[in-house]
Structure 1
């Protein structure tokens, strides 16, 4: 039984029948934002799909469809549970429907590195030069802490994004999973226990706080790296002097900022030759931003945004807009005093 949130590598569902007799997929239901890509893939190859409850509290009481839901006797060894980028924690009762060695998780790192729900994002944020994928046994006390059946290591390019790296790791993960399943069928599969401690920090879920920029401490390269890692799910965030939240889209390092841009971190000017907003960052570096979005507003090209700022001289200091960093509490206080 295969549990996943995102599209799995097609190799998993097209694998030769020497590995599987039947595949059942469990994934999230369709939402108003679109259809589940995993559901679409599974149904295109006539693989049965079961939808999990959309709310996490309800999922705790969910059971997979027969024949995996039986609690009579020991689960058969030919029933295998596989998760990949699932986004949910399976309960002990759900895990117990499968033999311990048949509870497999395809994890987007070389375990024990980057344990946690966001290994791909944190590998990019850390500027790691290598990463990989692991097939590990899920434990009741941690889905990414069990014995490792196999790993594949790959170089991590300096321009990798979450999306490009996820696609690459999915392909490697599919091949690795098939290899492990074949070894299990042949009786030659061997696992190795993980050390208790990970060499890297816990790869926690990405939150709004991870997207908040501090131009006084983050260099241009730091900011672009952050965008590559989390930009697909969280827009990089700063604030205008008025307290309006501003999202920066598709930032790039620029080595030729306009001469009029001051050295003050957060200083912003419009650079007409490149049609971008150029922002001073830590260490004298700068980023160029082609598009921005105020909260609850539509996306604006750099020129459109700047034309809306110029008529308001109170926002400018020596012809520059000075972006600021607010935390959530400070933002709430500001709005409570201005509304």
Structure 2
């Protein structure tokens, strides 16, 4: 009986708040969104300051931080009165599904049937699917998205990777309104910046931005619905794109990339793909890569072509020439069919020991 009464009080708390005002109290919201909501459930109208019912769309570890933050608020029953999850997976369950099941959160498989759902607002974090108009319009407050860049820079599915690849020294989190048919084009309603360390890697920045995104999401939900009227359109003049990457991006182009370009690419792909290059018609994998500045005079000549590999005894590494007479060092290399080897073993086994002073990557 105690459990029943507690559940009943929670339901009454959510429903009673929903009856406090009509559609005129929601500035900036489209009337047809509200009328659709009324048609679905004529006894409910949106609350002015919450608690909110939230449908969460996500797919990966980045989204999990935001789901946890929302779930913590839901358990307090002040900011949220309902929380359910939409996700997409084939075969093995993803981390969101596992978390939801462990915490008794209802999960809907994408594509979702909105005719059977009644929520105030949708939240999208790292979902990877375009959401059509009829789903967006089913939420009286629309759908907001947590995106890991300072929009309009790096629209697309891989903003963290592209920020690191391009040597960005600043990035951040943007919260925007979702629009149909195109990714990442909605008005920005909140944004927070952070610096990118010169040696920061993809896993490190990923974790930092996931936490930032979850905190900014809660701050934004606390300001509903007023914050939705403060959206700023994105400048089309500053747009850059971060499309989905493939393993092919890990191949180094020695004559097109400086040492810093190579180092930044390695930072961006850490934990995803090792850098690769061609050697004697094989794709070899490179690791433990650094920019090498203390180049001996004997190899500093501009006549050496990009991709030239020289073993350096002092640093116990392979030095490879890049664009603009810059160099990187490589401590470890893996040849197909063989275990990873240190630079000295590669020199002895594949550069003829003392017989050859250099070889070439391409």
TM-score by length of 2: 0.72
1:46 aligns to what?
Answer: 104
* Residue from 261, 267, 278 that aligns with 1:222: 261
1:124 aligns to what?
Answer: 164
The C-alpha deviation readout for 1:141-177, integer Å capped at 9, x for no partner, is 2231112221112222222222211211111111111
User: Given the superposition, is the C-alpha separation of residues 297 and 79 from structure 1 closer, same or farther in structure 2, using an over 3 Å criterion?
Assistant: farther
Is 1:71–2:115 an aligned residue pair?
Answer: yes
**Residues 3, 27 of structure 1: 8 Å contact kept:** yes
Is 1:211–2:250 an aligned residue pair?
Answer: yes
> Considering only CA atoms, is the larger Rg found in Structure 1 or Structure 2?
2
Is 1:14–2:72 an aligned residue pair?
Answer: yes
User: Given the superposition, is the C-alpha separation of residues 290 and 12 from structure 1 closer, same or farther in structure 2, using an over 3 Å criterion?
Assistant: farther
The C-alpha deviation readout for 1:20-68, integer Å capped at 9, x for no partner, is 1232233354867xx6333344344333344x4xxxxxxxxx433xxxx
Counterparts of 1:143 and 1:40, CA distance in 2: 27
The C-alpha deviation readout for 1:59-95, integer Å capped at 9, x for no partner, is xxx433xxxx3427xx75x432222122333344544
1:152 aligns to what?
Answer: 192
Counterparts of 1:307 and 1:171, CA distance in 2: 46
* 2:229 alignment partner, SS class: coil
**Please, which runs of 5 or more residues in structure 1 have no aligned partner?**
53-61, 325-339
User: Given the superposition, is the C-alpha separation of residues 112 and 257 from structure 1 closer, same or farther in structure 2, using an over 3 Å criterion?
Assistant: same
Counterparts of 1:238 and 1:288, CA distance in 2: 14
1:276 aligns to what?
Answer: 317
* 1:250 alignment partner, SS class: strand
More displaced stretch, 18-27 vs 107-116: 18-27
**Residues 247, 273 of structure 2: 8 Å contact kept:** yes
Displacement of 1:202 in angstroms is 1.5
1:254 aligns to what?
Answer: 292
* 1:180 alignment partner, SS class: helix
Counterparts of 1:198 and 1:253, CA distance in 2: 33
**Residues 130, 181 of structure 2: 8 Å contact kept:** no
The C-alpha deviation readout for 1:251-299, integer Å capped at 9, x for no partner, is 1112234666573321113334544322122222221212223356543
**Residues 63, 94 of structure 1: 8 Å contact kept:** no
User: Given the superposition, is the C-alpha separation of residues 188 and 233 from structure 1 closer, same or farther in structure 2, using an over 3 Å criterion?
Assistant: closer
* Residue from 25, 45, 65 that aligns with 2:85: 25
The C-alpha deviation readout for 1:173-195, integer Å capped at 9, x for no partner, is 1111112212115x454332423
Counterparts of 2:298 and 2:272, CA distance in 1: 34
**Residues 120, 162 of structure 1: 8 Å contact kept:** yes
TM-score by length of 1: 0.76
Displacement of 1:237 in angstroms is 2.1
* 1:71 alignment partner, SS class: helix
* Residue from 124, 128, 132 that aligns with 1:87: 128
Displacement of 1:233 in angstroms is 2.3
Counterparts of 2:232 and 2:169, CA distance in 1: 25
